[in-house]
Chain A
Amino acid sequence: MPTILPELRAATRVEAHHPWPRFVVDVASWRVAGGELAAGRWTLLGLWGEADSVHMAVLRGDRDAIAVLTLPCADRRFPAIGARHAPAIRLERAAQDLFGFAAEGLPDARPWLDHGAWPVRAPLGRAEPVADAAVPYPFLPAEGGALHQIAVGPVHAGIIEPGHFRFHADGETVVRLEERLGYTHKGTEALMQGADLARAARLAGRISGDSTVASALAFAHAVEAALGLAPPPRAVWLRALAAELERLANHLGDVGAVCNDASFAIINAHCAVLRERVLRAAAVAFGHRLMMDRVVPGGVAANLDATGAAAITALVAAVRQRFPRLVELYDSTASLQDRVVGTGRLDPALARQFGCGGFVGRASGRDFDARRWPGYPPYDDLRFDVPVRTEGDVNARVWIRIEEIGASLGLIEQLLAGLPAGDVRAKVGSSAEAEGAALVEGFRGDILAWVRVAADGTVARCHVRDPSWFQWPVLEAAVDGNIVADFPLCNKSFNCAYSGHDL
């Protein structure tokens, strides 16, 4: 009996899965797990398939324990967790599309990632060839007297990623928003299978370009957990430095962009300048503006010299000087406040049910930050606040980001001051099949990575779950009852990833 999850009566613990345990369970225990999730005692961290089994990662309590459960399903059927726990629905629809599984009892059986344009069906399962024929996709209905539909996307008016939004509106008021995603599905997980670690790390770094450091870090952590490898201390600190710069750049850009979507362009203009300064400092320090391919299993592929450190120091001073004035402007402009306060409110109960990570969860009372718990070095040696609010509106999400900008600046200063000397890359080798998992806090929230490394050092299977999986669905709820014209504002305040979600 697994003591870590006493709710499960029958489960076999898998050796060589780190740092959290993995249990192979039977159908009865799988159902028990679904019940714990539905009752709100567990939180779903991820659900993904493999050729002959389905896995899910769960968090017990608020920060009690993490485990991976595996249900063998040689007949490619399993009881849908989504039948009782809505956050699993899209993940199970994706598993059906990619592996040819049948999630029995799933309330929404429409395909999700498979738009009928791939040359194969179940590309990660049996990969049966299919003729190129688009499948009709019925949108969910809304009934009422004077409703009309607005179809938006996949090609949007701005410079943003593709996705489709289907609104049902009553006059100006949104009655129902339904998202259709999957347009940017690139088959990343299939490409990772059989890839060597270097190539798989490059793919992990391109799951969502704005989170390239965080995604590559999650992948590297999972690989290192599997192989029992500890990167050198200097590498650990440089990774955190890159991760905080990434968080800073994204938060600065998005605070400006939210204001821009409320037609207050001056904050956007100034935030864009600050964001550009972050990217320029990153280019000097790490040799790439977005710091792509710098985090690799075993350490980092770039070292920081005095010039790089000086560029970052100057950056911190510039942001500290300029940003507070923009915050004051944000907070004291009545016309802007009128747009953001009370708009796009996410109910804390939903944030908790969906396990929303990042500023989306923390603006709706969910006090979770993977840097603090389960935690990973070097954050245990650093001081930082994790802001939490409960209003759950656009304004609260902006404020969480404003406060996180301050926290990241403080972290960057501590990282520069305490940066250890020494190597930045450990040799990576593998001799036996091993599995690892990791949870890393990207700017959007916690990214889950799970990997099985084969004995020859290639990736046998890897799954990376972007925070957006648990944020996109609640955006539909947050927009409900708002006016159509406020949708861009709500959407930007969430800023979910399309590519990160579609994989």
Chain B
Amino acid sequence: MRRTLLEGLLHRPLSEPPPAVDAAELEAVARAVGVAARARLGRSLSIREIDAGSCNGCELEIIALGNAFYDLERFGLRFVASPRHADVLLVTGPVTRNMRAALLRTWEATPDPKWVVAVGACAHDGGEFAGSYACERSVGAVLPVDLFIPGCPPAPVDLLKGLLGLLTLSAPR
């Protein structure tokens, strides 16, 4: 224990510099989020993650955002346990019909202003599960989506780019 803690003090942190968010991505986020967000949120966002029927691949990469390399919380982004505390709903999966009601109720439980970020190919257009009797077409078919982060699953660095874009634009200038 002592050795592990001592090393933690003496070594440089593993956390890596944030990825650059390019202008085109920022513009896309700006269009999606609109001006209203900028004044209200300051430089922090509380995120409630909802698995709406993903294969859990997206969850693995979202969890990885918390490891020392990405260290999400240093940017003012944090995951919260309740939709009541959330600004952003981060939704994965093709929205299975069995999860539709729970997703809607979670959205309704989230106070305004709120944003929906759809994560992964399934959330965008059903991905490999498009056309199934058991799935809605996408997150967009159930909720108004403000931002889409592509990938199957998106790597943590892609998730970080999308969320940082949201943060940059929602901060007062």
Interface class of chain A by DSSP: loop
B129 and A184 within 8 A (CB): no
- Min CB distance B133 to A, Å, is 5
Partner of A154, one of B83, B94, B99, B128: B99
CB–CB A117/B60 < 8 A: no
Determine which of B56, B66, B103, B129 lies in contact with A498 in the assembled complex, contact meaning CB atoms within 8 Å.
Answer: B56
Choose the segment among A12-20, A267-275, A372-380, A474-482 that binds chain B (4+ C-beta atoms closer than 8 Å). A267-275
Contact A187 B4 (CB under 8 A): no
User: How far apart are the CA atoms of A209 and B50 in the complex, in Å?
Assistant: 16
User: Is A123 among interface residues, defined by CB-CB distance under 8 A?
Assistant: yes
CA distance A39 to B82 in the complex (A): 47
A119, A160, A186: the one contacting B96 at CB < 8 Å is A186
Would A118 and B4 be within 8 Å (CB), given that A186-B94, A276-B67 are in contact?
no
Contacts of A499 in B (CB 8 A): 53-56
A290–B62 Cα distance when bound, in Å, is 13
Judging by beta carbons under 8 Å apart, are A183 and B133 in contact? no
Contact A159:B59 (CB < 8 A) given known A123-B133, A269-B68: yes
A272 to B55, CA, bound (A): 20
Complex-state Cα separation, A389 to B163, whole angstroms: 44
A115 proximity list for chain B (CB < 8 A): 97-98
Tell me, in angstroms, the Cα distance from A333 to B2 when the chains sit together.
12
How far apart sit A361 and B18, CA to CA, in the bound complex (Å)?
43
A351 to B67, CA, bound (A): 34
Q: How far does the alpha carbon of A290 sit from the alpha carbon of B153 in the complex, in Å?
A: 9
Please state if B102 and A183 are interface contacts (CB–CB under 8 Å). yes
Q: Chain A residues near B79: list those with CB within 8 A.
A: 159
User: Which bracket fits the contact residues of A?
Assistant: 35 or more
> Given the complex of chains A and B, what is the CA–CA distance between A266 and B101 in angstroms?
37
Residues of chain B contacted by A187 (CB below 8 angstroms)? 129, 132-135
B58 within 8 A of A: yes
Chain A minimum-CB-distance residue to B68: A273
Shortest Cβ gap from A485 to chain B (Å): 15
A503's closest neighbor in chain B, by CB? B134
B96 touches A183 (CB 8 A): yes
CA distance A119 to B82 in the complex (A): 31
A272 touches B96 (CB 8 A): no
Q: Given A158-B81, A161-B51, A203-B128, do A134 and B101 touch, yes or no (CB 8 Å)? A: yes
Q: For the complex, is A285 an interface residue (Cβ under 8 Å from B)?
A: no
With a cutoff of 8 Å between Cβ atoms, the chain B residues found around residue A113 in the complex are: 98
Compute how far the CA of A425 lies from the CA of B94 in the bound complex, rounded to whole angstroms: 31
Is residue A497 contacting chain B, with contact meaning CB distance below 8 A?
A: yes
The distance from the CB of A208 to the nearest CB of chain B, in whole angstroms, is 6
Q: Which of B3, B129, B153 contacts A186 (CB 8 A)?
A: B129
B30-73 CB contacts (< 8 Å) to partner A? 49-64, 66-69
Closest to B5 in A: A266
Q: How far is the CA of A115 from the CA of B131 in the complex (A)?
A: 19
The reply to whether B51 and A290 form a contact with Cβ atoms under 8 Å apart is: no
> Which positions 130-170 of chain B face chain A at CB distance < 8 Å?
131-135, 152-153, 155
CB<8 Å pairs between A and B, sample of 5: A185-B96, A187-B133, A203-B128, A270-B4, A329-B4
4 smallest A-B Cβ distances: which pairs?
A209-B57, A187-B134, A187-B132, A157-B81
Sample of 15 more A-B contacts, CB < 8 Å, known A183-B53, A186-B129, A273-B14: A117-B97, A117-B100, A161-B56, A162-B50, A162-B51, A184-B54, A184-B96, A202-B128, A206-B127, A207-B55, A209-B58, A272-B68, A273-B69, A276-B64, A290-B153
